[in-house]
Amino acid sequence: MTSAKLPPWLVLLLPAFIIILAVVAIPLVFSLYSSFTPYHLTRPDTLWKWIGGFNYIKAATDANFWKAFGRTVLLLTIALNTEMLLGLGLALMVSKVTRGQRALRTAMMFPMMFSPILVGFQFKFIFNDNVGLVNNALQSLGLTDIAIPWLVDGNLAMFAIIFAEVWTSTSVFAILILAGLFAIPQDPLEAAKVDGCTPFQSFRYVTLPFLMPFIYIAMAIRSLDVARAYDIVQVMTNGGPARRTELLWTLIGRTGYVDARMGYANAMGYISILMSIAFTVYFFLKLQSSRRELGMGD
Amino acid sequence: MKGRVASSVLALCAGLGFATAAFADGEFAGVTIEAKLIGGQQYEALYGRIADWEKATGGKVSIISQKNHFELDKEYKADIAAGTTSWCVGSNHSSFAPQYPDLFTDLTPLIPAESLAGFVPANIAAATINGKLTMLPRAQFDVSALYYQKSLYTDKAKAEAFKAKFGYDLAVPETWDQFRDQAEFFAAPPNFYGTQYAGKDEAINGRFYELVVANGGKMFNDDFTPAFNSPAGKESLQWFVDLYKAGAVPPGTTNYLWDDLGNGFASGTIALNLDWPGWSAFFNDPAASKVAGNVGVAPAPKGSAGVRTGWSGFHGFSVTEACATKEAAASLVDFLTNEDSQKLESAAGPLPSRTAVWEYVLDQAKSDPYKAEVLTAFQETAKTAFPVPPTPYWIESGNLIFPELQAAILGDKTVDQALQDASDAVDGLMKENGVY
């Protein structure tokens, strides 16, 4: 009697397959399925009721969903670009420091060490209209005699949220770009100097092209990871008031976990995945083209 | 089998009217009760008594989760979805309870009838959902009364200016219209505001609900079609809008929740504050509050229909349907809500839900004029208090209503438009869930 033996490559890969199936593939398929049902967390029997594309049609025709979608794209665009510019500036400055650079690099990472919930509470207090730090400072300095509603006015509230997000995540860009700066070969920079380039020209035509792959990698990582800002938004405004700071994360989180309408929340989640894919593909294409420019191949 | 025998014995004891508060020694030896309890300083003094129950019965209590109610709510929903509901005792709240129709068991057969008879009947009625007694109320009955700064009413110049402007004497408001006049009169932003209100989530929804009732309206019709888009609803929402437009409330009030309100009144920058009983000691504590010694407490004002606002709720303990040792779990719940437990909890300020304990705390407060004033105001308000509408969609519909209320308050929509949009959204929710 011969027992069927699995080929060694399959045996070796099997644990990985099982883990990926259990933690990624099955939950993904399950959540996709549930988006075609009226699944309500407190009524488990609703999971077995097929309603076709009802949830998708409902989300696609809901003005509040698309407003939240647009606001999320806006927040991503402003926050990521601001973080990139500030991170680039920070990295360039730190790279010039000759003494105490290690201490500076460590200090630069402090904001990353805070839990996003704590960051949310911290900035909620700072921007509180009545007892907050910003308003009290502005009033004490005589710059204003009104209580500026930082977390109420739509534009100011988005600014406050972006400010908190930029404060906590700029150092991610700075660290990655700093690594890029250390990896730049010195020959082209010295050649530029010999050729009489100004410092700006050296930066624009030599340093920056070398840094671009690092910047796009940082962008791609952050565009996927930026949803961690959910905690900050949840604590600071929870999408309000009057949906003025509603983002996809707060809307989907509330629908799924507070209202318990998990089927509908999953449908909204799948539509918004399109946005994540679009951002990632865009940054990946930019990364490829910048690597090609440097002759690093695809 | 053992459980069934114990259950029969308990049922027999209950039927014969025997007191089961005195436990048989080691009655639940070897039984471990897993519990999910509300956490927070004001709630935890009671949990010290769990050791007494363990000693008396031989049972053990393992607290497997301790969070605020909003987090517990999410956890319960996740448990229902995952089918992991075999833990036994859970903190519950009258506003959340209708959402979990099948999670908790009917306590009526598990609790001695005489123990049940000791509760305020209205509380037991509110804890009974679809004929099932889903929880036993603890001494955390909540209804809001009016806190105010007394010095504002002893200032002669203010009294004269007020009378000149509004044509009637300045006195602690008895109606919500007087409250609005006075809040606008006292306001001197950005350093001092006439009042403040909770501006988001269930908090503003509850405040709107009680004002609608006080103005003679209701949130839902008997078939749960939305009923708040009515003259009473419009009058109520207009009250919030007027105060905001007049600058009588802090501009950030639409982001405020209970802690912001409590700390705001204690900071001395708010004249009038509708708030919960749990804050009474804090407001009058010189170490924590700038208004200590200057706090007055009055019953909640009345709306245009002559009805007092009185949105009420209470905390309680429930036993899960899937609990394998329901008798032991019910014994623990009974213990945590008995007279001694309620006396312990209400000593710190919260209101009891047992008739005898109400009498006890009123008697105890005789030597403390502030405490007596607090209890009298809350007792008067509690007389006409009312719970949230008994629908599992209270929280869910609230999440559709409150952004519209905020939109009207902030001027993004008119009162009519906001209520129409909220009503349409709630109507859609009810229809989608097959309510009608």
Check residue A229 and give its pLDDT: 82
A-chain residue closest to B204, CA distance: A241
Q: Please give the Cα distance from B17 to B188 (Å, whole number).
A: 61
B404's tokens: 């519209």
pLDDT at B22: 54
Do B272 and B146 touch, CB atoms closer than 8 A?
Answer: yes
List Cα–Cα distances, B367 to B344, B358, B370, B373, in angstroms.
18, 16, 9, 11
Chain A residue nearest residue B73, CA to CA: A258
Q: Which residues in B lie closer than 8 A to residue A244 (C-beta atoms)?
A: 410, 412
B403–A240 C-beta distance less than 8 A? yes
Ramachandran area for residue B131 (φ above 0: left; ψ -120 to 50: alpha; else beta): left
Report the CATH fold assignment for A63-293.
MetI-like fold (1.10.3720)
Same domain as B135, residue B34: yes
Q: Is the same domain home to B371 and B267?
A: no
- Least Cα separation, residue B181 to chain A (angstroms): 22
Q: What is the pLDDT of residue B17?
A: 36
From B413's Cα to the closest Cα of chain A, the distance in A is 10
Q: Which pLDDT belongs to residue A6?
A: 86
Q: What DSSP state is assigned to residue B366?
A: G
Buried b (16+ CB within 10 A) or exposed e, A280-291: eeebeebbeebe
Element (H, E) at B129: strand B128-129
Amino acid identity, position B85: T
Structural domains counted in chain B:
2
**Judgement on whether residues B176 and B271 belong to the same structural domain of the protein:** yes
B interface with A, Cβ–Cβ < 8 A, is 70, 73-74, 77-78, 80-81, 83, 99-101, 103, 189-190, 193, 199-201, 250-252, 254-255, 263-264, 267, 269, 392, 395-396, 399, 403-404, 406-407, 409-410, 412, 432-433
Residue where a domain terminates, one of B337, B359, B378: B378
Integer Cα distance of B351 and B145 in angstroms: 12
Closest CA to B77 of B63, B90, B64: B90
CATH code at B418? 3.40.190.10
- Residue given tokens 């259950």 in the structure block: B7
B284 and B239 in a common domain: yes
- The DSSP call for residue A257 is I
B255, B263, B419: best to mutate for the A interface, most A CBs within 10 A = B255
Regions of chain A with pLDDT less than 50? none
Domain locations along chain A: 63-293
Closest CB to A152 among B254, B395, B432 = B254
Report the C-alpha gap between B62 and B383 in whole angstroms.
37
Q: What is the pLDDT of residue A2?
A: 57
CA dihedral A189, A195, A200, A204 (to 10 degrees): -60
Question: What residues of chain A lie within 8 A of the CB of B263, using their CB?
Answer: 131
How near does any CA of chain A get to the CA of B308, in Å?
A: 28
Write the ipTM. Answer: 0.76
Instruction: Answer yes or no: do B406 and A241 touch at CB < 8 A.
Output: yes
Interface touch B189/A146, C-beta < 8 Å:
yes
- The rounded radius of gyration (Å) of the Cα atoms in chain A is 24
**CA–CA dist A249, A272 (Å, integer):** 10
Give yes or no: residues B179 and B191 share one domain.
Answer: yes
Contact A240 B200 (CB under 8 A): yes
Beta carbons of B255 and A237 less than 8 Å apart? yes
Instruction: Please report the pLDDT score of residue A296 as a whole number.
Output: 67
pLDDT for position B7: 41
| CA B218 distance to own-chain centroid | 19
Residues of chain B neighbouring A259 (CB-CB closer than 8 A):
395-396, 399
10-residue mean pLDDT series, chain B (436 residues)? 39 37 73 94 88 94 92 91 94 91 94 94 90 93 96 95 96 97 94 93 94 97 96 98 96 88 93 93 94 97 96 95 96 96 89 93 91 93 91 91 96 96 96 90
Residues B250 and B155 in one domain: yes
User: Closest Cα of chain B to A44: distance in Å?
Assistant: 6
Are residue B295 and residue B346 in the same domain, yes or no? no
Residues pairing with B136 in the sheet: B317
CA distance A225 to chain B (A): 24
Do residues B8 and B123 both lie within one domain?
yes
Interface list for chain A against chain B, based on CB atoms closer than 8 Å: 38, 40-42, 44, 128-131, 135, 139, 145-152, 237-238, 240-244, 254, 257-262
Q: Containing domain of residue B165, as a range?
A: 145-311+387-432
According to DSSP, residue A256 is labeled I
For A256, nearest residue in chain B (alpha carbons): B74
The pLDDT of residue A238? 87
3-class secondary-structure state, position A173: helix
CA–CA min distance A116, chain B (Å) = 17
